[in-house]
Amino acid sequence: MIISQRKSSEDLFFSLKGYSRIFLVGCGECATACKSGGEAEVEKMRQLLEAEGKEVTGSCIPSAPCIAAKIKTELAKNIKDLRRSEVVLILACGLGVQSFRDNDRLGLTVLPALDTLSGAVMDGQGNFFEKCSMCAECVLGLTAGICPITLCPKSLLNGPCGGVSRGKCEVDQEKDCVWVTIYEALDKENKLDLLKEVRGAKDFKKSARPHQLIIK
């Protein structure tokens, strides 16, 4: 799940300065789930823009704007409204913004309405928590399924730092040290031997940007 939140009205109208005819694109997946780019948010954006004298030429909410086939379908359905538009405002993560740009044959200006925060999991109450840094060399098999890259403020891979106190993180005294949590979890699984093994340094070359995966 990609987490995003709406930009401030000040930032939005700064980016829209000089544009009057705007097409809105939402997201039927992640942005809908975190209530930043679903049907309700697209409607609120329409009302906000029209209250400022802007014309909303149309809108769509692809089920997954980051997938080329999905965004192309919506582009085809809304081609008349898009031709009347000066700019497209995307209520989706940065992937959705770039996917629209890559698949738009009209050469429209594309602007983000949201800030992309992180990848996260959602709990039973609908809260979102960042758990994965997408670092390209997953260590979860060695750390009881708990990611130290993301959950440790220092991204330490060699156990707790000298600042841990009574199991708490020195950066945030309200939070448990993730390496203490990992130790306790491995202890329950009788896998503490994993912490005794000497391993090579993490290969940060794997996290060099941009990544690509070619499906043949």
d(CA 151, CA 169): 10
pTM above 0.85, yes or no: no
Average pLDDT rounded to a whole number, residues 170-178: 93
β-strand 128-130 against 109-112: which pairing, if any? unpaired
Cα angle value 21/101/54 (rounded, 5°): 15
111 and 142 part of one domain: no
Tens of pLDDT, residues 20-45: 999 999 999 999 999 999 999 999 99
d(CA 109, CA 121): 32
- What six digits make up the tokens of 74? 């919506």
Single residue among 51, 83, 118 that ends a domain in this structure: 118
Tens of pLDDT, residues 70-114: 999 999 999 999 999 999 999 999 999 999 999 999 999 999 999
Max Cα–Cα distance, the chain, nearest Å: 66
Q: How confident is the model at residue 212 (pLDDT cuts 50, 70, 90)?
A: confident
What's the residue count for the chain? 216
Domain for residue 149, yes or no?
A: yes
The letter for the amino acid at 146 is I
Is the pLDDT reported for residue 175 higher than 80? yes
d(CA 142, CA 55): 54
21 and 93 part of one domain: yes
pLDDT at position 100 is: 94
150 and 181 part of one domain: yes
pLDDT at position 126 is: 84
Query: How many distinct structural domains can be found in the chain?
Result: 2
Between 171 and 214, the more confident residue is 171
Single residue among 91, 118, 145 that ends a domain in this structure: 118
Question: Strand order in 109-112's β-sheet?
Answer: 55-60, 21-25, 87-90, 109-112
Is the pLDDT reported for residue 204 higher than 90? no
141 and 76 part of one domain: no
14 and 93 part of one domain: yes
pLDDT at position 19 is: 95
Domain for residue 53, yes or no?
A: yes
pLDDT at position 113 is: 95
d(CA 158, CA 34): 34
Q: How confident is the model at residue 143 (pLDDT cuts 50, 70, 90)?
A: very high
Domain for residue 126, yes or no?
A: no
Average pLDDT rounded to a whole number, residues 109-126: 89
pLDDT at position 213 is: 67
The answer to whether 4 and 115 have CB atoms below 8 angstroms apart is: yes
Q: Which residues form the domain of 82?
A: 2-118
Is the pLDDT reported for residue 1 higher than 90? no
